[in-house]
């Protein structure tokens, strides 16, 4: 915001074409550290399939433990590990399948993994899972109008998220960032962000726990 150049840490992750690509873009500096100091020293993917699976497993176990010592973080990491292994050793053998299911993994399954990440109780993870995919009756009444109430509160953020996730928008900004109109839009967005932060001062920053 102040014009200082920093290493880019989030590189439009939801435009990624696979889970692996997503996590090269999401917390890119952290992922790069794990690659340079853990994955590559272990041998990376140069020592055969079994060793590659072992190396990836070690990296993701450490990733889960880095976020916290509760079981949900380890479960979250193992789910992502399975998705990455399926992409790397099964889907990658067919370009069309990789393109289709890679995007499904990013846009559908990645958001589902955030449920596991956010909830520390394994019992509650099961409850949330049954609400998301109600294959059996788990004794919880789901209000069919929940989505309406949620959209009423969050539709501006959802809309902005969809717009700014389009790669063209970022390339347009880089090309026209000195334009007075673009500067004005950024100025307005800056103060909207400040007001939003001020109004949510009671909400602790999640990463202070890590």
Q: Which two tokens stand for residue 60?
A: 């993701």
**Rounded to the nearest 5 degrees, what angle is found at the Cα of 38, between the Cα atoms of 34 and 41?**
135
Distances in whole angstroms, Cα of residue 195 to Cα of each of 109, 181, 185, 202: 32, 21, 16, 13
67 is catalytic: yes
CB atoms within 10 A of CB 11: 13
Whole-angstrom distance, CA of residue 107 vs CA of residue 18: 9
Kindly list the catalytic residues: 67
């Amino acid at each position: 915001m102040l014009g200082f150049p920093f290493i880019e840490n989030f590189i439009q992750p939801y435009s990624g074409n696979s889970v692996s690509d997503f996590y090269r873009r999401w917390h890119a500096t952290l992922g790069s550290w794990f690659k340079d100091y853990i994955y590559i020293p272990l041998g990376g993917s140069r020592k055969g399939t079994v060793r590659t699976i072992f190396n990836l497993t070690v990296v993701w176990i450490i990733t889960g433990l880095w976020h916290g010592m509760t079981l949900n973080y380890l479960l979250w990491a193992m789910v992502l590990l399975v998705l990455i292994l399926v992409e790397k050793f099964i889907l990658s053998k067919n370009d069309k399948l990789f393109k289709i299911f890679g995007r499904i993994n990013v846009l559908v399954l990645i958001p589902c993994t955030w449920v596991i990440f956010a909830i520390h109780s394994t019992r509650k993870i099961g409850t949330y899972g049954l609400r998301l995919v109600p294959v059996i009756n788990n004794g919880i009444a789901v209000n069919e109008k929940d989505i309406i109430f949620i959209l009423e509160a969050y539709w501006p953020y959802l809309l902005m998220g969809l717009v700014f996730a389009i790669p063209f928008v970022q390339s347009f900004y880089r090309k026209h960032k000195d334009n007075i109109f673009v500067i004005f839009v950024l100025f307005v967005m800056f103060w909207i962000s400040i007001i939003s932060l001020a109004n949510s001062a009671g909400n602790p920053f999640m990463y202070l726990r890590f």
